[in-house]
Structure formats: structure tokens, C-alpha cells
Amino acid sequence: MKNKEKKILLSAPRGFCAGVERAIEIVEKSLEKYGIPVYVRHEIVHNKYVVDDLKNKGAIFVEEIEEIKDKSRPVIFSAHGVPKKIHEDAKNYNMTYVDATCPLVSKVHREAENLYKAGYHIILIGHENHPEVIGTMGQLPEGTIDLIQNEDEALNYKNKLNKKIAYVTQTTLSVDDTKDIIKILKKKFKDIQETPKEDICYATTNRQMAVKNIAKKCDIFFVIGSRNSSNSVRLVEVAKKSGCPSSYLIHSQSEIPFEKIENANTIGISSGASAPEVLVENFISELKKRFTINIDEVEIIKEDVIFKIPKKLN
């Protein structure tokens, strides 16, 4: 039996960003051009639904290109970016490769390289073992870039080499978290060089702003996205910090916590940049089976960013 009405505040913008749309299109266009199979090194984007859909179309996912038995088949590098060595390995194997690195991640790679060439020792603000961080650190020789993950590490960081210092950041972090780390670094190192433009990507910023905008009005908040999606996990943190402590990530193995929803009047919903809209629709459909739902989409900014796919696929 359906019981009392629930109001849904649907956060906008949410879901796919231009970098994710481009990466998925690159896999689909590669399948059209080269036939099946095409290989993809690492999950093209961090979402099980997307990966499974591409597997069904003929993409084979591997963690390293060494795993690819038939090196005559093309390989695609994921949206998160890869170390330079991976490009070199593909060339050495004479493999056809298509780079689906998000242009905003490539921008950080170029910034790091330019700063290194200008004589700076580089700090990368990011999360260890995230593929984007591995890719960015892999643009430079070992020992020329250090990772800082939190405020404590920033406080304890020492400029052992006594070189000029600069910093870059992972694109999918929380704007507020990086702000605090940057504040500490600027206090410690008065001449630290920052990049000319903000590294946190426009889509990450917009989705976080949209969540902040509605979180305080919600009794419970759900972010649809994968556990290994950095930007999705950050959205849950942002919702909690912005006034909705009962904020949860809904991923492919999640049970919907209906008993918690029973006691809520207003439900906030957003989705990470690699989560397709169909997952949001499915989640709302499940709620509609039990409750009377009124949906109010709250949009704070229109996104019209499009990234072109590589010429070789046109």
C-alpha cells in the first residue's frame, strides 16, 4: 500500500559530464570502425552499468595492455588518463590506440609537465591509487611529484629538495576539501605556484553546488553512482556537510533503505558524473511503487560543454 506523500528534490545538473559522454562515444565509435572486439584499459568510466553495456556491445576490459592476447586489436585508454609509459608500451607493441582521457584531465597533465620544465617540484592534491592520480603522476619522472591527500599530510609536508614548489589537483575532488589543503600549503610555502586555472572540473563543481543548494532542505539524500567513482563519493560528503547528515551512495549492490525513507518527507537525489540517467529513473520508479511522489527538479546552472572525439574516429 502506498503511504504518505514524499517530495523529491532532484538536483541539476547531475549525471553524465562531457568527458564521460565523450569516453563512451569513443568506445562505441571504435567498435563501429574496428569491429569487435576492442579492448579498454581500465573501466572507461567508473560505472558498472556503463561498463556492462559496453561489454555487451563487444568491448573487453583489461587492467593492463600486457593482458591483451591479440595485439592487432585496438585498445582505448580510459577517461581518467594514463601514465606516459602506457602510450609508449602501446607504440612498442605496434598497437592501434585511442586515448579517451578527459580533456580536463589532459589539461592537468600539461600543467604538471610545464611546471616541471620550468624547474618546479610538484605537489598533486588527490587520492592515492585513483587511476587519475596514477595517470597524472605518471606524466613526470619518478621523484619529481609528491601526493598530498589531506590536511595532515599538507601540514607535515617538507620541501626536502629545496626547489621551487607548485601544485596541481585531481579534477574530481571536493572544492571545499582542496581549498583547506591549498590554504595550508600557501601558508607553509609563501611562493608556491598555482595553476592559472582551477583544476577541479566544471562538472564536479556544478554537481557539488547543486547538491549544496538543496541538501539542507532534505531529510534524506541519495547519490546514484559507483563506490569507486571519486566524484560520486564526494557528492555524498558534500550533502552531509551541507546540512543532510542522512546521505547515502546508491551503487549497483545497494539495497534501497525503505525503512529510512518511510520517516522522511523530503528526499534529495543526485548522481555522479559517470552515472547514466536511467539509474536515477530506475531509483525513482522503485520509490513510486511504495510512495506517492512529487518531483521538483532544482537546476542551478545549464551545462552546454561538448568535447570532440578524436579525428581518427570521425
Range of the domain at 179: 104-200
Residues of the chain above pLDDT 90, percent: 94
Mean pLDDT score across all residues of the chain: 95
Determine the average pLDDT of the residues in 51-69: 97
| One domain for residues 194 and 179 | yes
**Has residue 63 been placed in a domain?**
yes
Q: Are residues 183 and 193 in the same domain?
A: yes
Q: Answer yes or no: is pLDDT of 312 > 70.
A: yes
Among residues 200, 234, 268, the one where a domain terminates is 200
Strand partners, 122: 145, 166
Residue 82 has pLDDT above 90, yes or no: yes
Q: Is the pLDDT of residue 3 over 70?
A: no
Longest dimension (CA), the chain: 69
In a domain, 311, yes or no: no
Asked if pLDDT for residue 1 goes beyond 50, the answer is: no
Examine the domain organization and report whether 266 and 180 are in the same domain. Answer: no
**Which of 103-130 are b and which e, b meaning 16 or more Cβ less than 10 Å from the residue's Cβ?**
ebbebbbebbeebbeeebbbbbbbbeeb
Residue 310 lies in a domain: no
Q: Does residue 65 carry a pLDDT above 60?
A: yes
52: domain CATH number is 3.40.50.11270
| pLDDT value at residue 114 | 96
Beta-strand relationship, 145-148 and 247-250 = unpaired
Average pLDDT for residues 168-176, to the nearest whole number?
Answer: 93
pTM of the model: 0.94
Domain end position, chosen among 165, 200, 235: 200
Residue 2 is predicted with a pLDDT of 53
Question: Which among 132, 142, 255, 281 is annotated as catalytic?
Answer: 132
Asked whether the beta carbons of 19 and 103 are under 8 A apart, the reply is yes
- Whether 308 is covered by a domain: the verdict is no
Residue 190 scores a pLDDT above 80: yes
Same domain, 177 and 248: no
Name the one residue in this structure whose C-alpha cell is 559522454: 21
What is the pLDDT confidence band of residue 314, given thresholds at 50, 70 and 90? confident
Based on DSSP, count helices (H) and strands (E) in the chain, helices before strands: 11, 12
Among 78-82, 130-134, 198-202, the range scoring the smallest mean pLDDT is 198-202
246, 271: one domain: yes
Mean pLDDT score, 203-212? 96
- Name, in order, each residue with C-beta under 8 angstroms of 224's C-beta and a sequence gap of 6 or more: 232, 250, 269, 270, 271, 272, 275, 279, 280, 283
Is 111 designated active site?
Answer: no
Q: Are 94 and 43 in contact (CB under 8 A)?
A: no
User: Which amino acid is it at 13?
Assistant: P
Inside any domain, residue 313 = no
- Measure the CA–CA gap between 223 and 212, rounded to whole angstroms: 13
pLDDT digits (tens, 9 = 90+) for 236-292: 999 999 999 999 999 999 999 999 999 999 999 999 999 999 999 999 999 999 999
Final residue belonging to a domain, choices 173, 200, 227: 200
Q: How many domains does the chain have?
A: 3
175 — pLDDT class (breaks 50, 70, 90): confident
Mean pLDDT for the stretch of residues 147-159: 96
